[in-house]
Amino acid sequence: MTTPLLVFDLDGTLVDSAPDLVSALNFVLDREGLPPVPVASARKLIGAGARALIERGLEQEGRSKTPDEVSAMTDDFIAYYAEHIADETRPFDGVLAALDELSGQGFNFAVCTNKLEWLSKRLLDRLGMSERFAAICGADTFGVQKPDPVILRETIRSAGGVLSSAIMIGDSGPDIGVARRAGVPVIGVDFGYTPISIEELKPDCLISHMEKLPNAVAEINARRGGG
């Protein structure tokens, strides 16, 4: 029998990484002579990968760069961020307890993120969380990003799971979209990073704290006859 699998987004779902991501963004903006973006407003820019974060940061400042210039900024961003990846990033409150409880119930876990795979693994290593996940897959793992369903389907396969017993957990449009396109139910969290209210995206369940995750998982499995 296949072990049921919970697939998590990373930034804004498992970990509050905004301070370190915004610090890296402001590092590259400063080198361009641009003012820093406040963490509070930049939280909504996170979620589609490093390049998109920089493009959104430039747009917020009313500036534009050529594709080659953005590529160079992205390289500088990644180099800086890799060295400061866990300066302030921490798991959201309740995450570790929820993982412990769900692991005890027989669930396996995976990460499906638009962050680069090696950065995702480095971050989870630094936080002492990597061993909890059967697979950690990023934007470069399969050559596609969320919401392309390939990344979720292949993450589930890599973790030894199957679509029929998997659930996605995320905080933004790409997470809801990838789950819908892959035919997997999705739990939304309302404490993450999204320019559009997670309620408007209509996940199958919505939680405001990770302590509620085990109950949400049980609710979804009950709906589909899995428990």
Domain boundaries, the chain: 5-16+89-223, 18-83
16 has catalytic annotation: no
* Domain at 18-83, CATH homologous superfamily: Putative phosphatase; domain 2 (1.10.150.240)
Would you state the pLDDT for residue 37?
81
Give CA–CA dist 75/125, Å, rounded.
22
- Give every CB contact of residue 4 below 8 A, 6+ residues apart in sequence: 106, 107, 108, 161, 165, 166, 167, 221, 226
- Give every CB contact of residue 100 below 8 A, 6+ residues apart in sequence: none
The CATH number of domain 5-16+89-223 is 3.40.50.1000 = yes
Q: Are 87 and 99 in contact (CB under 8 A)?
A: no
Annotated active-site residue in 9, 16, 20, 204: 9
pLDDT in tens, 149-188: 999 999 999 999 999 999 999 999 999 999 999 999 999 9
pLDDT in tens, 48-103: 677 888 888 787 766 777 788 888 888 998 999 999 999 999 999 999 999 999 99
Dihedral of alpha carbons 187, 190, 194, 200, sign? positive
Q: Is 24 helix (H, G, I), strand (E, B) or coil?
A: helix
